[in-house]
């Protein structure tokens, strides 16, 4: 089994001790100690990190050491930040010239600099979207599957818990607030994309966020049917975002989340230490980060946010409990959930059928919301451990290398 060097020991620990979520609730400064002057030596420049994916030229995420003020530092350096991070990270994102980049790296208090990169919605690109405009469907087999241990399905979704009192932050393309499946329970949190700033889903786009929100908490299609849904819009109408914008979304969640909260991010990209740090700090606030494992048929540990130690990354199965061909895998894909041909809410009303770990992740976020509603003070580690413990073991077929065989189960909620 291939383990990436960056996650080798941690990934092995996830296999050997599956009920331990390292660092998820460990409080601490958002930024690490970073470089500093050696004994008697000069200050060393902060490391410059790059990702393997599509990079954003000239744009950087700057992580600061504890006690360093982002606004004071940018003011002193005459840098105009696009985003200032104070909760998920201590730092900022900005466009920097080559000269400014070297100045920033050489400034005391700067821990690391990472070039910005592109992330995308975690939907299987080869799967066509089937719409049933103007009508609401009868729900998805995914709900039917997660409330029972074994096949065949019984055509029912049995859960007494509703998620009332809990909140799920949906980091995505936005939500169609007017869709009847949400019943007025969906609202705007922050919109980092559109001019209007209302966090609504794109009428000309994919409807990805509406579909994901429907799986989390739609009255017909959802797991937690009375949960409150908050749109954290970080994806554009084409389903793309950047590391800088994604972290800004996590920063909003970290500073705004109510006690009984969960965050779902059906988004995937190249491995980013800045993203993984942000995920860890959101978890440390008591908010379980449920994320898509990704659809590259690759090791999830090599992607962010799936590779973050504090995240609960979700792989996808189909109606026969087979791990899908597109799903990422490995020890960082800590649980599986239905993610092929999932019916949920469509932008503009009605329903749509979509596939991807984007659809698997909100099943898990919905169950996390059910648990949080009953246990509002439970920390991220406790919620994730409960979900892992309750999962149905060895039910999935066609498993990929190193992936724990755990299928989501509602645990009698």
Kindly list the catalytic residues: 172, 208, 358
Q: Is residue 82 part of a domain?
A: no
Angle between helices 70-77 and 98-105 (to 10 degrees): 130
Q: Is residue 22 part of a domain?
A: no
Structural domains in the chain (count): 1
The CA–CA distances, whole Å, from 122 to 101, 109, 178 equal 32, 35, 24
Q: Is residue 278 part of a domain?
A: yes
Q: Is residue 51 part of a domain?
A: no
Q: Is residue 76 part of a domain?
A: no
pLDDT in tens, the chain (413 residues): 444 434 444 444 344 333 333 333 333 344 444 444 444 455 689 999 998 889 999 999 999 999 999 999 999 999 999 999 999 999 999 999 999 999 999 999 999 999 999 999 987 643 444 444 433 344 689 999 999 999 999 988 988 899 999 999 999 999 999 999 999 999 999 999 988 888 888 887 789 999 999 999 999 999 999 999 999 999 999 999 999 999 999 999 999 998 899 999 999 999 999 999 999 999 999 999 999 999 999 999 999 999 999 999 999 999 999 999 999 999 999 999 999 999 999 999 999 999 999 999 999 999 999 999 999 999 999 999 999 999 999 999 999 999 999 999 999 89
What's 181's domain CATH number? 3.40.50.200
Q: Is residue 11 part of a domain?
A: no
Closest CA to 326 of 241, 400, 237: 400
Q: Are 190 and 252 in contact (CB under 8 A)?
A: yes
- Token couple for 146: 């997660």
pLDDT of residue 51: 84
pLDDT of residue 78: 94
Spatial strand order of the sheet with 130-132 comes to: 130-132, 351-354, 342-345
Q: Is residue 14 part of a domain?
A: no
pLDDT of residue 42: 59
pLDDT of residue 22: 31
* This prediction's pTM: 0.88
CA–CA gap between residue 221 and residue 345 (Å, rounded):
7
Q: Is residue 374 part of a domain?
A: yes
pLDDT of residue 31: 43
Range of the domain at 183: 121-407
């Amino acid at each position: 089994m291939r383990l990436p060097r960056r996650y080798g020991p941690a990934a092995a620990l996830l296999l050997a001790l599956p009920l331990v979520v390292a660092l998820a609730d460990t409080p601490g400064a958002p930024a690490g100690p970073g470089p500093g002057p050696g004994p008697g030596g000069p200050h060393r420049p902060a490391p410059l990190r790059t990702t393997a994916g599509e990079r954003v030229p000239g744009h950087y995420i700057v992580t600061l050491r504890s006690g360093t003020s982002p606004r004071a530092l940018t003011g002193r350096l005459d840098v105009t930040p696009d985003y200032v991070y104070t909760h998920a990270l201590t730092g900022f994102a900005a466009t920097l010239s080559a000269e400014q980049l070297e100045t920033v790296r050489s400034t005391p208090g700067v821990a690391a600099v990472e070039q910005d990169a592109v992330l995308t919605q975690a939907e299987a690109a080869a799967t066509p979207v089937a719409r049933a405009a103007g009508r609401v469907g009868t729900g998805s087999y995914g709900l039917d599957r997660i409330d029972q241990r074994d096949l065949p399905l019984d055509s029912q979704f049995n859960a007494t818990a509703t998620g009332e009192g809990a909140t799920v932050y949906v980091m995505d393309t936005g939500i169609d607030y007017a869709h009847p499946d949400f019943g007025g329970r969906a609202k705007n949190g922050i919109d980092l994309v559109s001019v209007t700033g209302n966090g609504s889903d794109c009428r000309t786009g994919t409807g990805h966020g509406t579909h994901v929100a429907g799986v989390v908490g739609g009255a017909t299609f959802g797991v937690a049917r009375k949960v409150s849904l908050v749109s954290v819009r970080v994806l554009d109408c084409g389903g793309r975002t950047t590391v800088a914008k994604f972290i800004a979304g996590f920063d909003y969640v970290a500073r705004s989340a109510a006690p009984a909260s969960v965050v779902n991010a059906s988004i995937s990209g190249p491995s980013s230490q800045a993203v993984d740090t942000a995920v860890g700090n959101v978890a440390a606030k008591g908010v379980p980060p449920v994320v898509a494992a990704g659809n590259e048929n690759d090791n999830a540990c090599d992607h962010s946010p799936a590779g973050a130690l504090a995240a609960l990354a979700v792989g996808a199965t189909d109606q026969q409990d087979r791990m899908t061909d597109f799903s990422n895998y490995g020890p960082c894909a800590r649980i599986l959930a239905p993610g092929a041909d999932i019916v949920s809410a469509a932008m503009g009303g009605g329903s749509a059928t979509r596939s991807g770990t984007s659809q698997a992740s909100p099943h898990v976020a919905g169950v996390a919301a059910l648990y949080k509603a009953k246990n509002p003070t439970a920390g991220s580690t406790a919620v994730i451990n409960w979900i892992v413990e309750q999962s149905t073991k060895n039910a999935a077929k066609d498993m990929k290398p190193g992936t724990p065989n755990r299928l989501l189960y509602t645990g009698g909620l």
